[in-house]
Structure 1
Amino acid sequence: MPAAKRKETTAHVHSPAIEDYLEQIHNLIEGKGYARVVDIAKNLGISQASVTNMIQRLDAEGYVVYERYRGVIMTESGKKIGQEIARRHEVLTRLLSGFGLDPKTVHEDVEGMEHHISRQTLDVLTLLMEELEGNPELLKKLKKRLKSSS
């Protein structure tokens, strides 16, 4: 079906794998201006063949438009999901990093949490993160309490 006539997906339930792919594609397009299978595979640490299979699925579901040898373009619904996952990732990373957790722990925890957090909870965490970043004394106090309870 031509890309112009493809129906975009409107479902709101996505697997973590779909979200990971859309996040990667979004980040690549934001950073480089384009997303290619080889770059997605490298970033996710999986084979190009596996990426091609998922990209074809995402194309069929209306999240991306994929043309072999030309790369991946996101549809509006794909962009929306990719942006939302990237936002979740950024908020969670900033919040946890602000408490001085080691980068490996932050990365592993964020990868799990970003797929299972509601919009309402993300809004609460965003508010907390912004308040803590704007109030270094409070953040210092909380970090101290955290260290003393460990």
Structure 2
Amino acid sequence: MRTKRAPRPLPPAEDHAARFARQREGDRMAVAEDYVELVSDLLREEGEARSVEIARRMGVAQATVAATVTRLQRDGLVATKPYRGIFLTEAGEAMAASARARHDLVVRFLLSLGLDPATAEEDAEGLEHHVSDATLAAFARFLKERQE
């Protein structure tokens, strides 16, 4: 028979607000990271990254891609060239590499827990943007210790 656990108390309001602020920032960054990572993948695999292909792969309208690309340009992560598609800036390349490394680490961690590859990939898509650097470091330590 399971024992009932006492509900956890609410944290102080400032701590609670800070947690939600980090979550919102994670959501905002997730979009940018997903886009630059996809642009990087398309450039590597297909030699070009066009809005129509990004929309198809992200499952969004081309207008959504256009608005997001405009924001990414403003943030210095991508550049566009007429009739040539979307390219990453140096900052965009760095963000894509970082996002890819985090994604790969989370997938490897989830696989080490016994998840199947498809589930690990799907779950990593959300987790990679919302775990702290401390948690990622713990994942890496766990994987390293498991190998030894």
1:93 aligns with 2:134: no
Q: Which residue of structure 2 lines up, in the alignment, with residue 117 of structure 1?
A: 131
Identity of aligned residues (%): 37
The residue correspondences of 1:126-137 to structure 2 (distance < 5 A) are: 126-132=140-146, 134=147
The residue correspondences of 1:1-150 to structure 2 (distance < 5 A) are: 15-132=29-146, 134=147
* Consecutive unaligned residues in structure 1, runs of 5 or more: 1-11, 136-150
Please give the TM-score of this superposition, normalised by the length of structure 2: 0.70
Give 1:104 shift. Answer: 4.5
Query: Is 1:56–1:66's contact at 8 Å kept on the other side of the alignment?
Result: no
Match of 1:73, SS state, is strand
Match of 1:19, SS state, is helix
Distance in 1 between residues matched to 2:43 and 2:59, nearest whole Å: 18
Query: Is 2:48–2:84's contact at 8 Å kept on the other side of the alignment?
Result: no
Deviant stretches of 4+, over 4 Å: none
Query: Which range moved further: 38-47 or 76-85?
Result: 38-47
1:101-130: per-residue Cα shift (whole Å, max 9, x none)? Answer: 134432342122111123333233123224
Q: May I ask how many residue pairs the two structures share in their alignment?
A: 123
Corresponding letter in the other structure for 1:42: R
Please give the root-mean-square deviation of Cα atoms over the aligned residues, in Å. 2.3
* Consecutive unaligned residues in structure 2, runs of 5 or more: 1-24
